[in-house]
Structure 1
């Protein structure tokens, strides 16, 4: 492992925060250690007991992350350690997400005591890519309600979309704006807002040894100015009574405590801090006097992180700014079309449409949109909403790959379970030849009970329907 670059100016800066030389030496020691690998089980695709049983049979050692019941530090057998975890069949099937343990904290803090209530139906993830926290939120919401995932970078938006599809998230609408617009374009529109802000990344030095190479106080203050703008937007986007979580993967007071305190000072009668001291067993080791979590790498053998939770107590509306909406290209599906699609899904796969989604049409494609999105349709421009369900053809309808991934677990007919060898061939884009003829016609292809895509039974062959952009040339890493 390459030793991290830690400038002396940075050490001089953090020494007073750490308290003494011994703690500083411990901090430096942990910064120089390899970061423990951690994963989060995707409960949209597999239950925790089923995943842990599967992992244990393969020799995987799972240590629970104390603040996230779906999170685990992972140690694999020596012969597997150098094999890419992202090439396992279980990863590709969306059973888990490779996610640093500390980054699981903000979604847990946002929904602690909130999830499962009718008070949370619209959530904003203001800086969403690459998708770890978005997919965690979607799973915590059990694909119910609406989760708006915003990302400014076009290239990162594509990565985010791929993660959402792989994990089976279907309550998400993606947008592509600067986060500063939400407070004026959708004022008080959200029940909960997560701002995992762009930051200096001081806490990521164990993963990125060069994270601190260009550290400077000037850059720190420049970032803090942007973070304060985003916080103001997040506050105005939040309804009274709603909860706002601010988080960063950096350690400086200027980007953390001072950003939160600036918002509190600006709206002293409209915000209260909700202490995170009781968020999990051991949180007291990281809690600040204000009630924020300031996670140093040595506290939990993790990345450094900062999390604050605020409750909005009063309305503070400001003039709306004209939105960039563009033409809305979708229309509600006609009753006859909806009935025909429902009949097709029931007949072919035993599927029923989710109650909290509505069917819309664009050209020959039919989309499922989360119901809480309906009042914003045509008022705000989203890049992608919900999931594409089916495409109309002369012979009827055909389920899409992304809908198969998201809904396949609920299917009761038309399922075909693949072996690891068949799954490898499927991901390589090959047709599958089997001795016993499979059910003929459209098939939901499953692996260990998780939907991985679609095929078509033709005599002794399963025609491969994997989208070409998802075809992989390499071999899968099997669990031995």
Structure 2
């Protein structure tokens, strides 16, 4: 029927398509280019301030109805690719498809306070779009576990968390089917954005159906069932679970949800999402799930379902965990020693949300309640590195500055580009300042420099230097 959508897919989906929708409209929508969208990182800048910042550069904003921080953006034709802008490198925004903003919004819907969830799990986290969105909804407080099974995607996940200033997160690297066994009844909220066939992404990925087969659908739905059972087991009683995919077929969506209901008939309630946002009813199924077809909101295809766990599960085999944590919490004397170098550069209120640990010659910040999970599972990334202990001195770390840094020397947009390219900055030093200086952009610390006459020597870590930054 067309080069992107196999006939076998169209035959399958024609059965699943609601009566009020037309198959030809779906096909036509899948051929249209996808609208560009971003989410403002409100941990670093308000939406109003970001719009005011970017409008002079030809950005036109249209609000996404289900996400107050999300916008469809039309760009001036001469605009540099958004991913190359200094605002992107400094973590002021995240390039994210509009539909993919829905699962975290559904998870946090109807909460009176954003910090109501103290422990949250993102079971399939990379590259981090929804993890960073969840962290913002948690106001960077509480404890967020981001799990990713793919080794090659861990680095990107960690990079995005660091870029956006996320500090409340531990990263685990396991098949998500084990979390229910190791951490049963542990989390207030869980997002399972499950690995899927990706049918709904065809508008941005013309090869989305390159390897599509019905056999693959059956295979991936088996994995999804394992993951949703594990996620449900890991929930505390009263905890909330959101299951989502970017698939369009009902096998991976309603079928997996029905599996959960059949497995735990007395312990799970469905939360209807028909009032999640204006006109949500247009995509709501009779069960209360959201099945986002591309033609409804001119977006990617997506599926979102929400459940509440009514009581404890007792299904864990209680596996033994035998890994010694190479970090030790600081003693009072050690804390006294590290406080002055921390106070010289950082906003110290971050200590209200975690504890300090030492590993070898390093000082680390761990988010609050980390110790409750560290004894039950191994994590590959822990908190934020604050200090390196050198002979007779403590050296502040770049990640600490971008996460908790005090105000400093404000840079122009041109100077920020130079900084990220690893160049020294020619700045008049009328006060004849000496030594290290924090550098800021839009009120956020982006790193460290050192005054040398009328020049600031660049101290950006070499691995972060990027010649592609441009304006």
Q: Normalising TM by the smaller chain, what interval?
A: over 0.9
Match of 1:12 in 2: 11
Question: Does the C-alpha gap of structure 1 residues 97 and 215 become closer, same or farther in structure 2, counting only changes over 3 Å?
Answer: same
Residue 450 of structure 1 is aligned with which of 437, 444, 448?
444
Cα displacement (A) at 1:334: 1.9
**Does the 8 Å CA contact 2:39/2:94 hold for their aligned counterparts?**
yes
Residue 330 of structure 2 is aligned with which of 316, 333, 342?
333
**Does the 8 Å CA contact 1:128/1:160 hold for their aligned counterparts?**
yes
Residue 340 of structure 2 is aligned with which of 338, 343, 364?
343
Instruction: Give me the whole-angstrom Cα distance separating, in 1, the residues matched to 2:140 and 2:449.
Output: 25
Q: What's the TM-score, normalizing by structure 2?
A: 0.96
Cα displacement (A) at 1:276: 0.4
Match of 1:114 in 2: 111
Cα displacement (A) at 1:460: 2.5
* Higher mean displacement: 12-21 or 229-238: 12-21
Cα displacement (A) at 1:349: 4.9
Instruction: Give me the whole-angstrom Cα distance separating, in 2, the residues matched to 1:187 and 1:350.
Output: 36
Instruction: Give me the whole-angstrom Cα distance separating, in 1, the residues matched to 2:199 and 2:347.
Output: 50
Question: Does the C-alpha gap of structure 1 residues 121 and 115 become closer, same or farther in structure 2, counting only changes over 3 Å?
Answer: farther
* Higher mean displacement: 152-161 or 113-122: 113-122
Q: Structure 2: give runs of 5+ residues left out of the alignment.
A: none
Q: Structure 1: give runs of 5+ residues left out of the alignment.
A: none
Instruction: Give me the whole-angstrom Cα distance separating, in 2, the residues matched to 1:20 and 1:106.
Output: 25
Match of 1:198 in 2: 195
Instruction: Give me the whole-angstrom Cα distance separating, in 1, the residues matched to 2:21 and 2:268.
Output: 37
Residue 460 of structure 1 is aligned with which of 448, 454, 457?
454
Instruction: Give me the whole-angstrom Cα distance separating, in 1, the residues matched to 2:361 and 2:413.
Output: 35
**Does the 8 Å CA contact 1:345/1:352 hold for their aligned counterparts?**
no
Cα displacement (A) at 1:255: 0.2
1:58-137 equivalence runs, <5 A: 58-80=57-79, 83-114=80-111, 116=113, 119-137=116-134
Match of 1:250 in 2: 247
Question: Does the C-alpha gap of structure 1 residues 119 and 317 become closer, same or farther in structure 2, counting only changes over 3 Å?
Answer: farther
Match of 1:471 in 2: 465
Is structure 2 residue 427 aligned with structure 1 residue 428? Answer: no
**Does the 8 Å CA contact 2:65/2:277 hold for their aligned counterparts?**
yes
SS of 1:69's partner is strand
Instruction: Give me the whole-angstrom Cα distance separating, in 2, the residues matched to 1:299 and 1:215.
Output: 23
Instruction: Give me the whole-angstrom Cα distance separating, in 2, the residues matched to 1:421 and 1:4.
Output: 44
Instruction: Give me the whole-angstrom Cα distance separating, in 1, the residues matched to 2:219 and 2:444.
Output: 45
Instruction: Give me the whole-angstrom Cα distance separating, in 1, the residues matched to 2:441 and 2:234.
Output: 41
> How many pairs were matched up?
469
Question: Does the C-alpha gap of structure 1 residues 378 and 275 become closer, same or farther in structure 2, counting only changes over 3 Å?
Answer: same
Measured against aligned partners, the alpha-carbon deviations of 1:222-248 in whole angstroms (never above 9, x if no partner) come to: 111110000110010001000000000
Match of 1:55 in 2: 54
Cα displacement (A) at 1:352: 4.0
Question: Does the C-alpha gap of structure 1 residues 68 and 14 become closer, same or farther in structure 2, counting only changes over 3 Å?
Answer: same
**Does the 8 Å CA contact 1:120/1:192 hold for their aligned counterparts?**
yes
Measured against aligned partners, the alpha-carbon deviations of 1:40-66 in whole angstroms (never above 9, x if no partner) come to: 000111111111111223221111111
SS of 1:391's partner is strand
Moved over 6 A (4+): none
Instruction: Give me the whole-angstrom Cα distance separating, in 2, the residues matched to 1:424 and 1:59.
Output: 19
Match of 1:416 in 2: 409
Measured against aligned partners, the alpha-carbon deviations of 1:15-58 in whole angstroms (never above 9, x if no partner) come to: 13225697111111110000111000001111111111112232
1:57-456 equivalence runs, <5 A: 57-80=56-79, 83-114=80-111, 116=113, 119-349=116-346, 351-408=348-405, 411-412=406-407, 415-436=408-429, 439-456=433-450
Instruction: Give me the whole-angstrom Cα distance separating, in 1, the residues matched to 2:113 and 2:434.
Output: 40
Match of 2:32 in 1: 33
What root-mean-square deviation, in Å, do the aligned CA atoms of Structure 1 and Structure 2 show? 1.7
SS of 1:327's partner is coil
